[in-house]
Every structure is written in C-alpha cells, then in structure tokens.
Chain A
Amino acid sequence: MNITEYYGQTITYREALRLALDEAMEQDERIIILGEEVGRYGGAYAVSQGLYEKYGAGRVLDTPISEAAIIGTAIGAAMTGLRPVAELMYVDFAGIAMDQIANQAAKIRYMFGGQIGVPMVLRTQGGPGRSAGAQHSQSLEAWFMHTAGLFVAMPATVSDAYQLLKEALQFDDPVIFIEHKGLYTSKGIFEPGTALPFGKAAIAREGSELTIITYSGALRHCLAAAEELDKLAIDVEVIDLRTLNPLDVDTFVESVSKTGHALIVTEDSLTAGVSAEISARAQEGAFDFLEEPIMRLSGEDIPIPVAPELELAATPKKADIIKAVRKILRR
C-alpha cells in the first residue's frame, strides 16, 4: 500500500485505523492481530476488514470468546518477540481480562527489572451513543488511567486515530487504545503529518474566555457547543487531550491560566472519573488565575440506559455544555 495516496482525502475514523494497522503490518512483520471476529468477519466494527485476506490466518487470528485468553496470549507473544494488537470488542469486557491487563501487562517491565516489556496494543472501543445498553456503553478509561504501567490513548479525529495508532505500534510497553463507537463512521480529511507523540494535547479551537478540556467522543459535542457560543459572543477554547497517560497537564494549565475559567467535559461517570483528575491538576497549576471554580460535566453516576432518549440524557451533549459554560461565565 502507499499511504500517500490517502493524503488530503476524506476518510472515516475506521478507515484511518485500518490504514495505520495495514501500513504498520507491511513495515513490521512482528505485528499480529488477535481477537474475537477480527479475521474472517473483519472486526465487530469492521476496523480490520481485509487484513485477514491480505496477511493470512498466521497474522490475523480469530480467537475463542475469552478476553482473559486473548490478552494473556498477546502478553506472552509480546514478551517473546511479537508486537501483537489485541482487540477487546467492548471496553466493558475488560473486567474479565483485568488481571492480565493490570497485574501482568502493566507490571512486567517493573517485575523483571526492566529487562523485558510488553509491546502490546490493546485496541478496544467504548462510549455511549448507540443504544448498546448498560454493559456495552461504558467509558472505563479511568480504570486504565488509574493503573500505573499503561499508556492510554483516546483519539477523537481521523488524523489522530491514524497517527496515535501508528505511534502506539512503536511502543515497547502496553498501550490501551480506546476508540469511540460513535466515531467509527465520522469523517475527516486525512492529513499527512509527522508522527504524533503521546502526551501532546491539541488546541482544537482557540478562545480567550473559558477553556473546555475534553477528549474522544465528547470533543465533537464541545466543538459544536463552542460554535453556538460564538454566536452569543462567548469565546471558548477547546482542548483535546488525545492521550490520558501521559496527560498533557502543561497545555491545559496554560490555557486555564489564560482564560481563568475551565469546564471539563467527559462521557465517563462523574464520580472519581477522569474529570476529577484533570480538575485537580488544573487547579494546582492555574490556581492564581482562576476566576470561577473549575466545573465538570460528565456522565451521570448510573448504568447507561438503553433507551436512546435516556442514554442521551445520561451523558453530556451540546445543550448541556452551552448551559454549563453560560453558568460559569454568568452570561
């Protein structure tokens, strides 16, 4: 394949991920894919479509329905020389594999005195928006962010999906790569770019009065809200974190110091969630510049309902963001 053919083209988030996988597999034959339905079926969300046909059953492995086995196998393969991409069909299923993730993948480099690592990329997807129900709609990034030893990437755009996955495939340590089920069909111009390092947030929209800090699926709601707010002459900056570990504290602290106001928008549940961590860091770094308390807009502390109206009500959307911004600025 020739990646340059896609430069400047409008492609989907799903295609961007596939391009990253395809290109990396061509360049590095240690990369294998394993997971449920990733081969002949092409992946539950069709990310790995065509790769089985291209690289064969030796590099694209359909596994039994056992998350612990998928991750355990990937860890073993990673420790013995391969660079596996393990797919968890839903992040909600991580619980079954959590010992493999948190106690094995995350700790092996430390337990073996740095002699060996786990160059595994765990691709999975999360988030609400498709009426998938309480067991298939969660945003569990805080679990991984809370576990030392794991890198966590959560791309929100087409270009970031490609760049961050390409970058993840270079890592010598485990990366939890969480895609968003609501973004697979989202489109964007595929921009040629240099490799995007982890830990570098994007200023998705520049503004002067208030900083919205967000990532993944919530970014589009924040940008839409910022457009609406612009019509009300409210100038909002939007920061896309891109990765949660490493967390680009400097960028959002600088922004909050500039605007004096911060709203953190996440789709995971509010209590002990990612937003709490960001809020604490922003407060520590930008305290002297804060004009109002830092506010958080996150998912309700409830199981995500299956009914579309209730699901919508349980997570932040454009109207909620506008309301929160106006409340903070009292405008």
Chain B
Amino acid sequence: MLLDIKMPVLGETTDEAEILAWFKRVGDKIERGEALLEVQTDKITVEVPALESGIVNKIIAQVGETIAIGDIIAKLQTNKAKASPKPKVEKRKKTIKTPKTKTQIAKNKTTRLRAAPAARRLAREHDIALASLKGSGPLGRISKADVVLALKNKSTKQKNIHKLTAIEKLTAKRTQSSFQEAPHFYIKQQIEMTAISNYLQTLAKPERPSINDVLVLAVAKTLKKHPRLNASFKNGDLAIHDDINIGVITATEAGLVSSVVKNADRLYILEIKNKIIEVRNKLKNKTAKPEDIEGASFTISNLGMFGVDEFSAIILPPNVAILALGRLKEEVLVRNGNMRIAKTISCTVSADHRALDGVMVAVFLHSLEEQLQNPESWLI
C-alpha cells in the first residue's frame, strides 16, 4: 500500500522543521529504521528514520523547504496490505514522539554515508557537512559535483558571513563564560565632573590629560581604599590583589583588547596618559607585548567618546567588576534646593555577586565621587 510520510513531531514546542537532506531518492529501497531524511528545527538537527520498509514512491517536500509538523512530505510504497491499520497508526505515533538525536542515531545507524574521496576532500577543505548533502551517485553516493553545487549555494547564501578574528573569538568565549558563570548586578551613579573639567581646561593642550586618563587614576586611587573590587574570584574564594592594574578596553582592527596600566594608583597623571598612548600605538603597529594587554585587576570600558550616555558592561574574568563610563555631559543639578548647571558622567559598575554585594559597590562609587570632587589633592 501507499503510505504517507509526514513531518514527525520533533519536540513539544516545535511546529515546523526545515528539510536538510533526503538520503533516498524516488525508486530507492529503504528498510524500516533506516535514515530517510534529515531535518532541522529551531533547536536541533535530526535524522528521521523510515517507519516502514518499502520503496520511496514520491518526494513531495524538497530540500530547503520548511514544513509544518504533520504535513505529508513523501510517499512510501510498502509491501503490506491495507489491512489492520489501527495498530499501525498507534505504532507510528509512538515512534514519532521520540525523535532520536543525531548522536543516538549515529550509534545504531546501519547505513553509512557514501561519498567519493574527492567529495570528502572538497567538503573537508570548505567545512561542508557531507551529511547535509544529497548524493546524486549510485546508492546515494555524494560526488564531487554534489559538493561543488553545495559550495555554490553556500557562497550565495552566506555572502555576509564575517569570520571572527582570534581576538573576537576569545572575546566571545570570555564574555559568554562570564555572563553564564558570574551573577552580574549593576549599580549606576551620576558623578559630577565640574571641578575636574574646569581644572583640565587650565592645562595646555598636548599635555592635557583626557577625562579618561583622569578616571583611570581616580579609579585606581579609589580601589586602594576598596580592595575587594580589585580581586579575582577563584575556586569559591576571593584573591585580593596588591597591585592595582587598570585595564582600559581599547578597540583595534582585530577586536577589543585591554590596554593595561600597571600600578596605576602609584603613577602621575601624565604617566598614565603616556602609557595609554604607548599601548594604543603598539596595538596599531602590532608590536604590543602580552604585558601590555594582560593582567588587569580591574577594567574600565568607556563609550563616552561615541556620545553614549550610559551603559553596562560584562565583567572580564578573573576580574570581579568592570566600570562602564558614559559621556561627559551638562546637566541641571539640584542640591540643597538650588539648581545649577554641572558636568556629570554616568558610572555603571557591573559586579559579580559571588564576590561583591550591592553595598560594597555603592560605597566604592561614593568614594570615587568624593575623589573626583577634589582634584587638587592628587591630580597635579
């Protein structure tokens, strides 16, 4: 009898799936349990086995089509007479409801992938999964031409793929693990910068430090008083660092890196300014050494120069906190019933709640604000 093959139920929340490959063609024989096609849902890639033995009579849904669960995708000619449909239906339902994952199927698979050596080589060189291809050769063997065709399709489909650089890949890995492992919380404070800003205006231009340089020094000095933020969370304990090494997130062609200012709390402002410029140039000329970009005990990310008001950053392990800076802007401040125009900057600390709590971060920010109100004592 002619049996309808339907898109099987592939999970409780899945209502459609894309056909990746047919392993059989019209006229091919298939045994019960043998892989008939491969489909992809929004979550997984699954091989769908034949539920009956027979001959593929018709393929209705083509590779690349997205089909609703339960829709007919092919027809199978079986030897069985049309009798006793009831138990068959039950059996089908049962099997359909437990789709096997790819690894499970690989274990019990009786049919192996057939591919010519030249096809395998080409697929290997271009990162093409042979299992996703449909073989045009005898017994479904994947030929070189099949891979060439897939390559053509791939290149048209994935024209805008940007290959991550090594640094971008590392950033991806580090931020992902940080965001998954470290319970982030965020505390934001608007800090007045009027005094700093006015003071900087009095300095001659080439030597004039930037707001960013000043904040590096101010943060370093503040961390000295709040060492728990200058620490690493390791094996369930907090390793508090003696040295205060401030990492400043720097954008390069190859991705984001930290320019590290070692012992920033003990440096003069111009030393900090020069160090940051030096590392930036080294990064540009690709002569930066590991010590220039590694070993930060606390990190600052500044998007102020892009006009960003405020944002929050992801902690870079093994640090326990990161400070995100917005732009310097003018605001109306109301203090003691008076209002005035002031320059402020938004400071957002992302902190790891395994190592720190809200009070600690709030106190740190308060301390930083105090530091920034009296530049004369430390900035000159």
Contact = CB atoms under 8 A, between A and B. Distances in A.
A291 B121 contact: no
A260 interface: yes
B121 A260 contact: no
Nearest to A290: B117
B283 interface: no
A287 interface: yes
Interface string B121-144: 100000000000000010000011
- Looking at chain B's contact residues, the main secondary structure is helix
B121 A288 contact: yes
Interface residues of A, number: 8
B300 interface: no
A292 interface: yes
Contacts of B117: 287-291
Contacts of B137: 292, 330
B116 A292 contact: yes
A289 B143 contact: no
B279 interface: no
A258 to B, nearest CB: 11
B130 to A, nearest CB: 14
Contacts of A330: 137
Contacts of A291: 116-119, 143-144
Tell which of B116, B118, B120 has the most Cβ of chain A within 10 Å.
B118
Nearest to B125: A288
Interface string A64-82: 0000000000000000000
B321 to A, nearest CB: 53
Nearest to B119: A291
Nearest to A293: B116
Nearest to A260: B118
Interface in A183-229: none
A260 B121 CA distance: 12
A330 B120 CA distance: 20
A292 B142 CA distance: 10
Interface string A220-263: 00000000000000000000000000000000000000001000
Contacts of B121: 288-289
18 contacts: A260-B144, A288-B117, A288-B118, A288-B120, A288-B121, A289-B117, A289-B118, A289-B121, A290-B116, A290-B117, A291-B117, A291-B118, A291-B143, A291-B144, A292-B116, A292-B137, A292-B143, A330-B137
